[in-house]
């Protein structure tokens, strides 16, 4: 059995977001993502092959979708991003912590 705290051992802010895989199995990956005023590069879009369920645990963020829609997230907000959905991180606040669950077929 392994236990840990989502908010423990957070590295200092860096130039890039920090991705840490917490759990993985075939067709499933759970990540902790740490952001600090990060955004996707201009013109960059994610369109992942798996569904992604994200929970904003701490901080603030805004996602942008390929259809022009934007979604602001506050702590406790979660969102299901279907496989293939074009999206990007428009902005994050300081010390932002995400929990992301990637689930494939």
Residue 53 lies in a domain: yes
Residue 12 lies in a domain: no
Residue 72 lies in a domain: yes
Q: What is the CATH number of the domain that holds 58?
A: 2.60.120.10
Residue 5 lies in a domain: no
Side-chain half-sphere of 66: how many Cα atoms within 13 Å? Answer: 11
CA distances from residue 44 to 8, 65, 66, 95 in whole angstroms, order as listed: 30, 11, 11, 22
Domain count, the chain: 1
What lies within 8 Å, CB to CB, of 1 at 6+ separation is: none
Q: What is the pLDDT of residues 27-71, one digit of tens each?
A: 999 999 999 999 999 999 999 999 999 999 999 999 999 999 999
Residue 3 lies in a domain: no
pTM to 2 decimal places: 0.92
Range of the domain at 75: 18-103
Instruction: Give the pLDDT score at 1.
Output: 87
Instruction: Give the pLDDT score at 24.
Output: 97
Instruction: Give the pLDDT score at 2.
Output: 84
Residue appearing with tokens 């994050």: 92
């Amino acid at each position: 059995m392994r236990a840990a705290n989502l908010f423990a051992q957070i590295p200092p802010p860096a130039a890039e977001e920090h991705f840490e895989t917490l759990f993985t199995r075939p067709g499933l990956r759970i990540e902790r993502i740490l952001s600090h005023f990060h955004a996707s590069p201009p013109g960059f879009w994610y369109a992942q092959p798996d569904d992604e369920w994200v929970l904003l645990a701490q901080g603030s963020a805004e996602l942008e979708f390929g259809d022009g829609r934007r979604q602001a997230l506050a702590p406790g907000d979660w969102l299901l991003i279907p496989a293939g959905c074009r999206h990007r991180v428009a902005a994050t606040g300081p010390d932002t912590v995400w929990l992301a669950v990637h689930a494939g077929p």
